[in-house]
Amino acid sequence: MPAPNPPNPMKTMQVVYRVAGAASEIEARARAIAVEQSIEMPPGAVRNERVMREILGRVEDISDDGAGHFLVTIGLALETTGGEAGQLLNMLFGNSSLHPDLELVDLVLPGEGGPYFGGGPRFGVEGLRRLCGAVGRPMTATALKPQGSTTAELARLAGIFARAGIDVIKDDHGLADQGSAPFAERVGAIQAEVDRANRETGGRTLYAPSLTGGPRRLLAQLSAARNAGVRAMLIAPMISGLGALQELAGEGLPILAHPALAGSARLAPPLLLGKLFRLAGADAVIFPNHGGRFSFAPDQCLALAEAARRPWMGLAAALPVPAGGIHLERIEELLAFYGRDVMLLIGGALLEAPDLESAAQDFVERVAAAGSRT
């Protein structure tokens, strides 16, 4: 393999893998990863000079990570992604996901990476706050459940939540386009109910329906949602595609990204949910909170929240949305833990309260009160 010239650093991204293996073999393994994630063929058989110089991945760093693991940094040409978020994921981990000895842990993009992928969140933390009139405080969210409910039942719930002043009401991610509450019917009825509540209270609750399906179905749902006056959307990028998130982010509505299927990967959650979902345009990123039904550790939750909202290539901050079995008694603890730039998502705990209306009001008031103290 001839030694390639140094790349233009403005055009290279650094991809960091954690690889299991022996020290004696890690250099060869690192080179194999660099090939697999770029030209995917024997380098000796490449006849195009430019491909060898600019496209072939190169090993930029190998460092011992302890316990028989190494952190391997591969430089890949930004142009191989074509600026498309799904293809970015393909370049980062497409074939290497099929190898059990490595995890994808981080990505460093050059400054031009932000605009190249579309500019990230169009609303972000401050945009969502502005839309909901939630300036200077943490935000509240809840979910319409369970799947199998009728449209009327879901709309009634939405009305209660909106009258209580919850900032964002999203479809449960299990609501798709089922017979029990077909998408267009459901979304129209719920948005109408939320609009009615907003008019009554002077509030600005957003409703985010869950968009699902292949290209034609997704676009038809987008169109139906617009016609219903919807002003936010929910999508699960690991099911519908990171590319779908990227396209929807350009539609002028804020987007919540759901982590369904995201946990099955050997793909670090702070990178996937925090950085990549944000890069592809998610304005708010839902993730499993620590101490609930899921097993994310507090450190991991905080790392994810920080990845979503810290300064990065001039992109707007995405709002971290911890969720998954949060009980009402944890509101103050979690706001202290995450800080003010957060949206707490409480679903089941509201629904099982003896008095739904007052539980929802309690949620809203305590978040506002805790926020004014931070």
> Which parts of 44-103 interact with its own copies (CB under 8 A)?
44-46, 48, 50-51, 54-55, 77, 79-82, 84-87, 89-91, 93-95, 97-101
332 CB contacts (<8 Å, ≥6 apart)?
Answer: 366, 370
Q: How far is the CB of 214 from its own copies (least distance, A)?
A: 3
d(CA 62, CA 53) in angstroms, rounded, equals 21
- Residue 137 or residue 145: which is nearer to its own copies going by CB? 145
For its own copies, the binding residues in 207-246 under the rule CB under 8 A are 212-219, 236, 239-246
Q: How far is the CB of 54 from its own copies (least distance, A)?
A: 7
Q: How far is the CB of 80 from its own copies (least distance, A)?
A: 6
Backbone angles phi, psi at 329, to 5 degrees: -70, -10
Contact 371, 137 (CB under 8 A): yes
Q: How far is the CB of 363 from its own copies (least distance, A)?
A: 15
Question: What is the residue whose two structure tokens read 């969210």?
Answer: 141
Q: How far is the CB of 289 from its own copies (least distance, A)?
A: 11
For its own copies, the binding residues in 248-307 under the rule CB under 8 A are 248, 259-267, 288, 293-296
Quote the tokens at residue 157. Answer: 């719930």
- Residue 39 or residue 342: which is nearer to its own copies going by CB? 39
- Residue 134 or residue 157: which is nearer to its own copies going by CB? 157
Applying CB under 8 A, the site for its own copies has a residue count of 88
For its own copies, the binding residues in 341-370 under the rule CB under 8 A are 347-348, 351-352
- Residue 75 or residue 243: which is nearer to its own copies going by CB? 243
DSSP code at position 204:
-
Per CB under 8 A, the list member of 146, 151, 192, 303 interacting with its own copies is 146
Residue 172 found at the interface with its own copies (CB under 8 A): yes
Nearest to 104 by CA among 273, 239, 225: 273
97 CB contacts (<8 Å, ≥6 apart)?
Answer: 104, 265, 266, 267
For its own copies, the binding residues in 105-144 under the rule CB under 8 A are none
Element (H, E) at 246: helix 242-248
d(CA 355, CA 204) in angstroms, rounded, equals 23
- Residue 14 or residue 97: which is nearer to its own copies going by CB? 97
Length of the chain in residues, anyone? Answer: 374
Contact 85, 279 (CB under 8 A): yes
d(CA 341, CA 257) in angstroms, rounded, equals 17
- Residue 36 or residue 306: which is nearer to its own copies going by CB? 36
Whether the ω angle into residue 146 lies within 30 degrees of 0, i.e. cis, is: yes
- Residue 118 or residue 124: which is nearer to its own copies going by CB? 118
